[in-house]
Chain A
Amino acid sequence: MTENQPLTKDNTEDMEIRSLELGGLAGIFGTADHKNLGRLYILFGLTGGFLSLILHFLVRLERINIGGTSILDFGSNNQYFQTWSLSRTSLLFFCVIPLILGLATYLVPLQIGAPSVAFPRAAAAAFWAWLVGILIHVVTVFSDGGLGVPESLTEFAQGMDPEATELSILSIAMVAIAVLLASITLIATIVTQRPQGMTLFELPLFSWSVLVATGVWVLAIPVWLGNLMVSWVDFQGADALRYGNVENIWGQLSWLWSQPMIFAFAIPVLGIAGEIIPVATNRAQKQYVVQQIGIGALGVLSFGAFAQPFFNADVSDQAVFVAMGLLVVLPVLIFLGGLTDTLIKGKPKFSAQLVLALMSMISLLVGTTLSALHVSGPAIGAIQEIDSDWLSGLVNWLKDLQGTVIATAVMEHALLASLIASIAGLYYWSPKIFGKKMNNNLGVLAGLSLLGGLLLSGGSNLINGFLDEGDDVYLSTSNIGVWNKDAVEFLNIVGFIGSILLIGGISLVLLDLSVSIFLGKGSNEDVDNPWNGHTLEWSTQSPPPSGNFAEPPVVTSERPLLEVGGGGE
């Protein structure tokens, strides 16, 4: 691996002489330029998002029961479970993470005034390992592999192929290692490549959120990788004992999609909204350090590697888990409070990125509030002597919410908030990334469609959770014992409509990207700094040249361009 040299006049000139722009396939496969890698992550992340929302649509379609008959029959619980689990793995690893990594790989060096990421070839290796890993994983799941089956069936074979299952485990492990490698390159970039005068307190909020998020990932994803490896080694035995038993594999891995860990993948929501809203209002963000603390607190409260129900069945009643579930709403509230103050005191310019950023913040706030609700039963039970029937009834009712589809609602809100925020970032930074602006109206429409879809899908899961629909929707038993079967079935139709809106939203983004960027219909006027941005990426041309900056920047505040008049309060 080659680390970056600090940018000086000498080596900037040298870099310009040495830079070799490769086009075509050689340019794509051989690139170690953070800008090309960022664009590739974004394009594949959006494509993966479309595919994962199609899987989400299929899962929601299967949940519609009319007169006791499912609209879509997968043929077996196994196949339904494979689709269900792939919809989760792909939404996280094929959509949200690559979109975050794409924006971060492209923008972090620009925001901190660096010529590149710290280890460009490692960043390239991470991208290709991620892409190859996720493609193998998708193929193996559709080849009767996947991460297990829901129930212990009579024999292993039950429609599953052991070799494909093994490859599914190894390929998703490869994806996890790639994400770790990409995270470490970003952390090293932020920690060591900042220019003169930029301390961590002057770090732009997006870069700060990337530092916090990748820091949490670097500590938590290896734990998940450990679970995967134990499963894989056990799976090698002629008779898997426990971890490699196909009905146990998903149980060991599911904590990554549960609270509190799921919020670690939504940390950049705060960073993206924290960049867009002050620029839209042309004001400096007040209480900048408090905003940074908010992002840091969300990072701390989302470290969920300890919360593994497979190894600790009582974890959801334990104090740390409950406290984290309750407190996670606070940093989001504090951050949103700061942004609201900026919005109220300024005169925000209406734009797609502003609408999308606000929508992502609201989605995350709802998600964290649901998290608090999810753990409120044990919390009330712990702090108060229950001596009245109605209060103990309430506590028991709240406790019963655990294990219902409210957990799915929490996951949907966290991951879709991240998806919407990434799309907001795409509209905001598209002039910088592609040299063209995306269509404002299509962006707003996409945002409305995504938010509507989330409200219907997540909202129906929330209400169905109150009605006691089990989170193990891939089992026919999840509907047994619900309060009102008709209501649950009706709400599952509502959720299905939500899934259509989600697909519509991401399709509009892909359409806009194709028309505005690839067909060249987007405006390329004033693309260097169209929004009067406050941070360093807007001080160079769009798209930036090789080496990013002609001169190594010197920074004395968190909003250097605002200080020199690029924007004005």
Chain B
Amino acid sequence: MNLRTNDLPLAPPVRGRTPLVATGFTVAAMVMYFASVFGVYLKERALVRAEGLPWIPNKAKIELTQPGMVIWTLIISIVVMQWAVYSIKRDDRQHALLGIGTTVVMGAMVVVQTTWHLSQTNLIADEGPTTAATLIFTIVGSYLVAVVIGMIILTLTGFRTMAGQYGSKQTDGVVAASLYWYSLVFIYFIIWIAVYIAK
């Protein structure tokens, strides 16, 4: 049988994955934003170090305990968020809600730990503003804003899940929220390495 593609009937309309596409581009924009700020950070750090000067002010203390806790919190949040996605795909709204809610709480933990950590770094108190302090505050501050936005998105997704908008036939909203959340974990991983570990 010589059947050309054009002879076949058109496929039935498929629901567009609108939230997923929009989230994909939002994540792309966010990655470009952090790439821009990281670019400035790494360039300036290289310039200061090339002069033989310390990048982090001498009296500043960047402990690794809290960033370590944050990265573990975020890694666990990936599992929890994926649990929510897994549950919604099986119409298990109760566990999906539990997963989303737990992820929001973990987001709050990230905000609290990071804010407290910044207050303990002594980046400005003794030596006044430095380039390192400016850029660390910009990167970490922007990241906290992104986390809070993520928590708002997750909360809205939770309400919609509760209202029955999402289920096994329509998982887009939950999957999109998870995509945003995973991108936050990825970005924090870069912050953890570039800012906290490598200093």
Contact = CB atoms under 8 A, between A and B. Distances in A.
Given A229-B138, A229-B142, A219 B29 contact: yes
Contact of B15 (A6, A221, A226, A227): A6
B64 interface: no
Interface in B1-55: 10-11, 13, 15-19, 21-22, 25-26, 28-30, 32-37, 39-40, 43
B40 A193 contact: no
B120 interface: no
A212 to B, nearest CB: 13
A40 to B, nearest CB: 22
Given A229-B142, A233-B141, A242 B131 contact: yes
Given A196-B13, A222-B30, A230 B135 contact: yes
Contacts of B137: 233
B131 A218 contact: no
Interface residues of A, number: 48
A320 to B, nearest CB: 15
B21 A238 contact: no
Contacts, number: 116
B94 interface: no
Interface residues of B, number: 38
Interface string A213-250: 00100111111111101100110011111111000000
A193 B16 contact: yes
A239 B124 CA distance: 12
A27 B29 CA distance: 32
Interface in A1-58: 1, 3-6, 8
A4 B19 CA distance: 9
A188 B28 CA distance: 13
Interface stretch (A179-187, A426-434, A451-459, A534-542): A179-187
A119 interface: yes
A184 B22 contact: yes
Interface string B86-104: 0000000000000000000
A180 B29 contact: yes
A219 B36 contact: no
Contacts of B30: 222
Contacts of B156: 1
Q: Pick from B30, B39, B156 the residue with the most CB of A within 10 Å.
A: B39
A6 to B, nearest CB: 6
A119 B22 contact: yes
Contacts of B134: 230, 233-234, 237, 241, 243-244
A179 to B, nearest CB: 11
B16 A192 contact: yes
B129 interface: yes
Contacts of B16: 4, 6, 191-194
Interface in B128-148: 128-131, 134-135, 137-138, 141-142
A197 interface: yes
B129 A226 contact: no
B43 to A, nearest CB: 6
A118 B18 contact: yes
A180 B131 CA distance: 28
Contacts of B172: 3
Contacts of A193: 16, 18
Contacts of B18: 3-4, 118-119, 188, 192-193
Contacts of A221: 29
B40 A311 contact: yes
Contacts of A180: 29
Nearest to A237: B129
B32 A222 contact: yes
A154 B82 CA distance: 57
A185 B22 contact: yes
23 contacts: A1-B22, A3-B19, A119-B18, A187-B25, A188-B18, A191-B21, A192-B21, A193-B18, A196-B10, A197-B10, A218-B29, A219-B28, A222-B29, A222-B30, A222-B36, A224-B36, A225-B33, A226-B36, A237-B124, A237-B128, A237-B129, A239-B129, A243-B40
The 4 closest A-B CB pairs, nearest first, are: A192-B16, A226-B36, A237-B129, A222-B33
Given A192-B18, A193-B18, A219-B28, 13 more contacts: A3-B22, A5-B15, A188-B25, A196-B10, A218-B28, A218-B32, A223-B33, A224-B36, A226-B37, A230-B134, A237-B124, A239-B128, A244-B134
Interface of B: 10-11, 13, 15-19, 21-22, 25-26, 28-30, 32-37, 39-40, 43, 124, 128-131, 134-135, 137-138, 141-142, 156, 172-173
